[in-house]
Amino acid sequence: MRYSYQREVIREIICSTKSHPTADWVYSEAKKKIDNISLGTVYRNLKTLEEIGSIQIIYDENLIRYDGNTEEHHHLKCSDCGVLIDTNLKSNFDEKDIVSKYNFKPEKTKFFIIGKCNKHK
Ligand SMILES: [Zn+2]
């Protein structure tokens, strides 16, 4: 019971922001709500939430970030401040081409368009 409450708090923290937070940020927010929560507990719940499809993991170069937007989507990334902006842009290649040209079976497509956000252009 206690564990699912912690998981729900963590899910809400991630879904309440569009900032694509790191585990450390989620941990500092979670501590405001649950005094004795540990970083290990936060990581464990992040993993479970990802496994059950409640959040997505984003591999942003050497950072692991979490996304409450579970729709298939791509991101714009500012090369100055690192902000990630959700898009509904579609990739314009055909999965069948990838299979036939590269003998590779795609499962997920994630791309970043790197550029400058409106504060840094
Ligand atoms: Zn996103």
Whether 120 maps to a domain, the answer reads: no
Closest CA to 21 of 50, 52, 54, 58: 58
Report how far ligand 1's centroid is from the alpha carbon of 112 (Å): 10
Report how far ligand 1's centroid is from the alpha carbon of 87 (Å): 8
79 and 45 in one domain? no
Sign of CA dihedral 115, 97, 99, 71: positive
pLDDT of residue 60: 92
2 to 15, 47, 52, 65: CA distances (angstroms) = 20, 17, 18, 25
Report how far ligand 1's centroid is from the alpha carbon of 69 (Å): 6
* Last-in-domain residue among 52, 67, 82: 67
88 and 62 in one domain? no
- How large a percentage of the chain has pLDDT more than 70? 98
Report how far ligand 1's centroid is from the alpha carbon of 27 (Å): 19
The model's pLDDT over 77-117, given as tens digits with 9 standing for 90+, comes to 999 999 999 999 988 888 899 999 999 999 888 899 999 99
CATH number at residue 6: 1.10.10.10
Q: Are 75 and 39 in contact (CB under 8 A)?
A: no
Report how far ligand 1's centroid is from the alpha carbon of 1 (Å): 29
* 3 state SS of 56: strand
- Polymer length in residues for the chain: 121
103 and 57 in one domain? no
Average pLDDT, the chain: 93
Exposure string of 20-43, with b = 16+ CB inside 10 Å and e = fewer, is: bbebebbbebbeeeeeebeeebbe
Whether the predicted pLDDT of 2 surpasses 80: no
Q: What is the mean pLDDT of residues 68-84?
A: 95
